[in-house]
Structure 1
Amino acid sequence: MSQNLVSFQLTTTDLTAIDGALKTLEDRLTGLIDLTIEQRRFLTKMGDKSEAFARKAVEVLGNNPNVLPGNFNIAELRRDLAAFDLLRSRLVRLDRLQERMSDTQLALGSDVMNGALEGYAFLKVAGQGEGLDTARKALSVRFAKGPKKAAVAE
């Protein structure tokens, strides 16, 4: 086999620990919400540039509560900002982990496909007359071209 981008194995103990960690995350993060596509589209977003403004506004508003209406909840605004900060560092770590998992899965799939294609090429050449005709035909379905489309008359 010519390609082997990654050799990755998980033991039963590893999988049990990973599943336990995921369960813990799911159990502890019950306050997370799931927005619809429509909700995501119309929410005011706090990007990198807006964040400095928002942080300064929370500070100024907190120092000047007398200018706010009585129903303006500065304490909730501060809690939201603190929770935002707490989630961010963990989200960065999870994003990195998710990206590495996706890359590893992509590499594993590529290793498998390249090995399968290489093996299939050997099978086509060396497998003739070895009782492998049925297996070779079954594998060839992946490369079968569909029926040609009839030319459309103008």
Structure 2
Amino acid sequence: MDNKISIAIPDAVQKQVLTKLTELKGLLAPYLIALTPQQRQAILKMGDRSQPFVDKSLEYAQRNPNLLPSFLNLAEWKKDSAGRKQLTDMHYVLAELGSNVADTNMQCGSEAYNQALLFYNSVKLAAKNNVPDAKVIAEELGKRFNLRAAPQQPPVS
């Protein structure tokens, strides 16, 4: 068995990280919103290729105010554009951190689950050979794998 990771984050570090993440969440809370899945699907999305278009458009609009439609709020446009740049910088750092935490978590979970499966298989073998206590442990751990039969749907007439 190949053990690819062996970590033990000290409790003090875990507490400090969670405290700082909670502080960050609190600092950003007044500036962040949450979209519903429907809003996320319907909203106009700006990607990396659109950023230069938005930047150029804003530059032209600022230099040519006579071309701005009366319903367009230039000050809000500037705030939205600046806000996106700030949030993008934060997002990149958070995405890297989130990806690394997720990958490390996945590897730790995979190794722990694999070890549990090895133990469970060993206990099942011991139970078959009437080793004391093995049957009770195998039955208890085996509950994880007992699948309930899916309820039968009545046939459609």
State TM-score, norm by structure 1: 0.84
Asked if 1:15 corresponds to 2:25, the answer is no
| Aligned AA (1:27) | G
- Structure 2 CA distance, aligned partners of 1:69 and 1:121? 72
Deviation at 1:70, TM superposition (A): 4.5
2:103 is the alignment partner of 1:103 = yes
Counterpart of 1:28? 27
Structure 1 partner of 2:78? 78
In structure 2, the residue matched to 1:124 is 124
Shift of 1:84: 0.9
CA contact (8 A) 2:124 2:134 kept: no
User: How far apart are residue 5 of structure 1 and its match?
Assistant: 2.5
Q: Work out whether residues 3 and 115 of structure 1, in 8 Å CA contact, stay in contact via their aligned partners in 2.
A: no
Note the C-alpha offset of 1:34.
Answer: 0.5
CA contact (8 A) 1:58 1:78 kept: yes
Counterpart amino acid of 1:19?
A: L
The percent of aligned pairs where both chains have the same amino acid is 30
Are residues 33 and 149 of structure 1, via their aligned partners in 2, closer, same or farther at CA, if it must alter by over 3 Å?
A: closer
The within-5 A match list for 1:34-73 is 34-73=34-73
Residues paired across the two proteins, number:
151
State the shift of 1:26 in Å.
Answer: 1.5
Residue aligning to 2:3: 4
Distance (whole Å) between structure 1 residues aligned to residue 11 and residue 144 of structure 2:
33
Moved more, 136-145 or 90-99: 136-145
Rounded Cα–Cα distance in structure 1 between residues aligned with 2:80 and 2:121: 59
Gaps of 5+ in 2: none
Q: Displacement of 1:148 after TM fit?
A: 9.8
**Offset of residue 55 of structure 1:** 1.1
- Candidates 142, 145, 149, aligned match of 2:144: 142
Deviations 1:92-135 (Å, cap 9, x if unpaired)?
11011111111111111111111011112222234532232111
1:89 maps to 89
How far apart are the structure 2 equivalents of 1:149 and 1:71?
A: 58
Q: 1:46 to 1:3 in 2, by over 3 A?
A: same
Larger displacement relative to structure 2 (131-140 or 56-65):
131-140
CA separation in 2, counterparts of 1:86 and 1:26? 15
Q: CA RMSD in A?
A: 2.5
Letter in 1 for 2:45: K
Q: Does the 8 A contact of 1:4 with 1:111 survive in 2?
A: yes
